[in-house]
Amino acid sequence: MPRSGLRSVMLASTTALAVSLTGATATAAHATTATKPLNYVALGDSYSAGSGVLPVDTGNLLCLRSKANYPNVIADRTGARLTDVTCGAAQTKHFTQSQYLGVAPQLNVLKADTDLVTLTIGGNDNNTFINAILACGSAGLLSGGKGSPCKDWNGSTFSDQIESNTYPALKAALKAVQEKAPNARVAALGYPWIAPPTADPSCFAKLPIAEGDVPYVRGIQAHLNAVVKRAAEETGAVYVDFAQVSEGHDACKPAGTRWIEPVLFGHTTVPVHPNALGERRMAEHAMTTLGLN
């Protein structure tokens, strides 16, 4: 073969090899990017922490955090790299303030490379959940389960506080999350139903709320979820809605069906909170909503 022809063949071969190597490098880089685990941060209160669900995360006993909470379920099923700072009794203010001595503000763990943030928060602002359950449970016991003593006494107090205090606090908290993690997808989870839509006489021993106050308590929770949804939509976060999927899984249902444990005769140490089944279902519905399945 003439020397000029040999040079042409060698040049063509070298070019083809270079193109092949470049393509392989690009493919490998794409594969690495595609399989890179999500940097996932879990924020929030006891519903996020899975308080009362075993096994307990012994890394911080003050926060009553479970290793079987919905953030851990999501991380296990997606392969995400989880940083879990959820903490029982947390309020929106604890995103930017220390909740306990030695417990840093939750937003401190957020970074520019955070990919995913989930949170359930707002139920402890104004002590809404605990005050409503205590007030309505006490009133129910005193009335023998008749009438609507809690509604008669408290009226719109709980809903007024949710609207005037919790809603703006939620909106500010979600904005702060996005400022600290500008590249993250943020998901705000609602709260699964605690009470059924109407009174269940067989449930009074477990959830001692008067028959007329059951829809009242349900309405308080519906309002809380509505402001979580509104704050999420107004700040560009994804709202994970449990209104339909948690129907029929309230605290009045039998073990194995209920997602929320009742006030009395429940199976966890923290009443009126999700059990292990509830935490799994919260994780599954969040993954479905976010397209992580």
The catalytic residues are 46, 273
The residue whose two tokens read 């493919």 is 27
In whole angstroms, what is the distance from residue 86 CA to residue 45 CA? 6
CA angle, residues 89, 205, 130, in degrees to nearest 5? 20
In whole angstroms, what is the distance from residue 229 CA to residue 97 CA? 24
Can the peptide bond before residue 55 be classed as cis, meaning omega within 30 degrees of 0?
A: yes
Give the chain's count of helices (H) and strands (E).
9, 5
In whole angstroms, what is the distance from residue 38 CA to residue 229 CA? 24
Q: CB neighbours (10 Å) of residue 3?
A: 7
CA angle, residues 107, 110, 113, in degrees to nearest 5? 165
Three-class SS of 256-281: CCCCECCCCCCCCCCCCCECHHHHHH
Question: What's the burial of 217, exposed, middle or buried (CB within 10 Å: 0-12/13-18/19+)?
Answer: buried
Torsion over CA: 38, 44, 50, 55 (sign):
positive
Torsion over CA: 120, 225, 240, 195 (sign):
positive
